[in-house]
Amino acid sequence: MPACRDASVGGDLALRTCPEGPVAVLGLGFGDEGKGAVVDALARVRGRGRRPLVTRFNGGPQAAHHVVTAAGRVHCFAQFGAGALAGARSCLGRFMLVEPLALAREAEALQAAGLVDPWADLVVDRRCAVVTPFHRLLGRIEELSRGTGRHGSCGLGVGPAWRDAHNPHAPCLRVGALTGDRAGLVRALRQIQLLKLDRAEQLAEAAPAPAIAPLVAKLARPDLADVVADAYLAIAARLHTDEGEQLRAALQRDPGAVIFEGAHGALLDADRGFFPFVTPSPVSFAQAEALCAEVPSAPPLRRLGVLRAHGTRHGPGPFVAEDPALDLPEPHNLPGPWQGPMRVGWFDLVAARLGRAIAGRVDGLVVTHLDRLAGRRQISVCDAWIAKHGAVVRDFAPVEGSLEARAAATHALLQARPRWRRLPGWSGPDSRELREFLDFVAVEVGVPIAATAWGPCADDQRGWSASADGDETGK
């Protein structure tokens, strides 16, 4: 398979220098790497003369992929594909968890942003598991019951819903059931409600925190299943569903129009991330590859890994290169009641290599937020982790095995310190110092630079021609 050629920040790598085919975008950090902006730019590049199909292939409604248009309009994509403002269609693949009520709110927000009918350009796989309000309430109760040992839940119920979807003995509502008869839908929802209520009452008894009781009361509402069922039926009336036919047709007819959009970051992978501070689902290219494999004639999938020029982490857990003194406010990632404030730090080579290892093969890196560090005489890069006992770790293998072994490794990393390397800062997107930093990252991570971002908009990205032919609203 031909590889994309490398390019400096001023070059013109363009994925168009590779054989045209589907491309997947995945974060290699703890999330918040800028995946939404990358997908938006790709949709504009690949949308000339056709309408791309942006396919979400993992995660659920807890994604927060921000897109800023040239006109300054901001939308936080949670379930719709982040190419929607660029005119792309959205597909929620079968590995997705879908929250219908939040999906309807996002459709309203997109309509307010100028899309005539967001529902018309969305197709959802009928096999997607549904995140219900009962999952959300139980998830919040679970997190509160942990006291000071919170895991960093988003508070949206994805964890409990994921467990149900992968437990053959648990009732699980699928998107296809939303179009069924009302009585059957109410019965299914009530069964989920009663099971979640039973578990919530056990937790409330074991950890009687004041904030838990009101949530248990909401979960016990006798009319809640009926209210939710009516809302779901109204949404289902507008929802286009299939079992992957639209995606497979696109991969057969025009594979270059398919953009796979990943959620979260590889360091949050359920099986190889820093347990228990992980997302419940896998975070790698494997699910995108599985969807591509359903069309044997499709060209090879091009894999793009996204990293910021500096580190971030939302929520608790290991973050070796964290630097609380680094003043980089987050206008689009404000503090929340569940994950708290965004934590910031410097670029971490050890973490970047670990993210690459968890993600699998990466064909090119997209380095974002380069403008956030502009004007500094010097920057820091973490080139090794120093363990509590003094060992210097330059490469950290993903920790697998028992949950106890993974939790022990996580605890040890909470006590690790960074080893800093100082590098010259940069002043602008064409500076020699910036080119040297990008060359350094490419060599140390072992992946060529595919594109860079000096700002939040599609036009701020270099490496492919990110300029849109449409108007400034992004439509």
Q: Which residues are catalytic?
A: 32, 65
**What are the angstrom distances between the C-alpha of 29 and each of 87, 407, 455?**
28, 19, 19
Taking the CA atoms of the chain, what radius of gyration do you get in angstroms?
Answer: 22
Residue among 474, 35, 38, 19 at smallest CA distance from 283: 35
Q: Are strands 378-386 and 347-348 parallel, antiparallel or unpaired?
A: parallel
Q: 198: exposed, middle or buried (C-beta count within 10 Å: 0-12, 13-18, 19+)?
A: exposed
Token pair 């001023």 is found at 10
Residues 6 or more apart whose Cβ sits within 8 Å of residue 20? 255, 256, 299
Residue 102 in tokens:
């939040």
Q: Whole-angstrom distance between the N-terminal and C-terminal Cα of the chain? A: 35
Residue 335 in tokens:
């503090």
CA–CA gap between residue 106 and residue 36 (Å, rounded): 15
**What are the angstrom distances between the C-alpha of 37 and each of 81, 114, 474?**
11, 18, 12
Classified as helix, coil or strand, 237 is coil
Token pair 């070059």 is found at 11
Q: Where are the beta strands (DSSP E) in 387-467?
A: 392-393, 417-424, 449-453, 461-462
C-beta of residue 70 within 8 angstroms of C-beta of residue 470: no
Residue 204 in tokens:
């409330």
C-beta of residue 292 within 8 angstroms of C-beta of residue 13: no
Backbone angles phi, psi at 156, to 5 degrees: -110, 0
Nearest-5° Cα angle at 302, 297 to 305: 155
C-beta of residue 284 within 8 angstroms of C-beta of residue 5: no
